[in-house]
Amino acid sequence: MTASEKPFDIVVFGASGYTGRLVAEYLAAEYGDSDLRWAMAGRSLDKLATVRSEMGISDTIALLEVDVNNPSAVTAMVDACKVVITTVGPYQLYGNELVKQCAERGTDYVDLTGEPSWMHETIAQYSEVAKASGARIVHSCGFDSIPFDLGVYLLQQHAISKTGEPIAMVKGRVRAMNGTFSGGTIASMRATMASAKANPAIIQVLTNPFALTEEFSGPEQPSGAAPQYDEELQSWSAPFIMAPINTKNIHRSNFLLGHRYGENFCYDEMLLTGDGDQGKATAEFVARDDSVAKSDLRPGEGPSKTERENGNYDAIFAGESTAGELMISSVQGDRDPGYGSTSKMLTEAAMCLLHNPDLASGGLWTPASAMGNALIERLQAHAGLTFQIEKG
């Protein structure tokens, strides 16, 4: 079946789950008046019908019964659409069959994974298959890692345009964040830790910033594991829980972009806590805090609509040019990072692939390396994100 013959442009897999519901709601609200052909998929048609009704989604939107443990059902879904959006995680438990079939059958794919050991495996197993079929597989299309991946991309594009050279050392700093991590993110973290306990080799992947760059290994990277004072930003910084996955994705983007940021590129991601004694005390508190790891939030649970809409985040990316000029880019989102903004980013990544069939060839990509400026434009036009060059 050719792409033009497929009945659907996009299928949302996991549409009865918490984040999947938000993706379906956003698609209906943002593109309900367009000619977009899309469907909702999941294990239970009854649950999908309930979600469709509760979300006020037109009953013309098709429902597909798909279980990841039924390969023939996965095949039918993959063959029926141009792009699959999947929110069914932890991906290391439930994602392999879908990635495998998309890679084999030439169907584009986006997900929310922040599971580096699983991503390491999919890159090894399916890169050549996807290259052959033309499938564009793009991991980490949520809060991890779109704002960070594209924030560094924007800064480096600016530096190269202005000076002819990339910035060798970029500090990613979360300036503000109001909202919660998703239950799915927490479940993924726990699944990763369980896998590492069962297979110690996974620890090498988790601790290696170049775990996703295949055979390439760059210079030693900052650890970001302890509070530090950033003189150029006049602020203390604390460890940031998403840094291990964002760092790996950013280095993979650099690798896939032909080392546009340089082969000696370093990236350091932390959370700004402010100046003075109060900033230092806050950084030390954050470094000790393990509330996310101990959270009892489960997949399918999350904040109310009001809480999602009142959330936001703001991250900056700073580095000095070879001439010593400080350059700063920033990315802001208008919803809570784990749910409201993530569901919009994931959807727009799929829409970007759909409307730009010539962006990237088949393979396993990051958001920046596959979609770059085209995705930045979509996120600003539709998803409530703002990208800026603040300095330099």
Percentage of residues in the chain with pLDDT exceeding 90? Answer: 81
**Looking at residue 3, what is its pLDDT?**
76
pLDDT category of residue 308 using cuts at 50, 70 and 90: confident
- For residue 109, give the nearest of 92, 121, 96 by alpha carbon: 96
Position with higher pLDDT, 2 vs 147: 147
pLDDT in tens, 328-367: 999 999 998 988 999 999 999 999 999 999 999 999 999 9
- Give the gyration radius of the chain's Cα atoms: 20
Q: Which residues, 6 or more positions from 63, have their beta carbon under 8 angstroms from its beta carbon? A: 39, 40, 41, 45, 48, 49, 52
pTM of the entire predicted model: 0.94
**185 vs 62, which has greater pLDDT?**
62
Q: Which residues contact 75 (CB under 8 A, 6 or more apart)?
A: 101, 105
pLDDT band at 271 (very low <50, low <70, confident <90, very high): very high
Give tens-digit pLDDT for 97-118.
Answer: 999 999 999 999 999 999 999 9
Please compute the mean of the pLDDT values over residues 131-136 and round it to a whole number: 98
**pLDDT given at position 299:** 64
**Buried b / exposed e along 216-238 (16+ C-beta atoms within 10 A):** eebeebbebeebbebeebebbbb
Look at residue 141 and tell me whether its pLDDT is greater than 80. yes
- The answer, yes or no, to whether residue 136 has pLDDT greater than 80, is yes
Report the CATH superfamily, name and number, of domain 3-142+347-352. NAD(P)-binding Rossmann-like Domain (3.40.50.720)
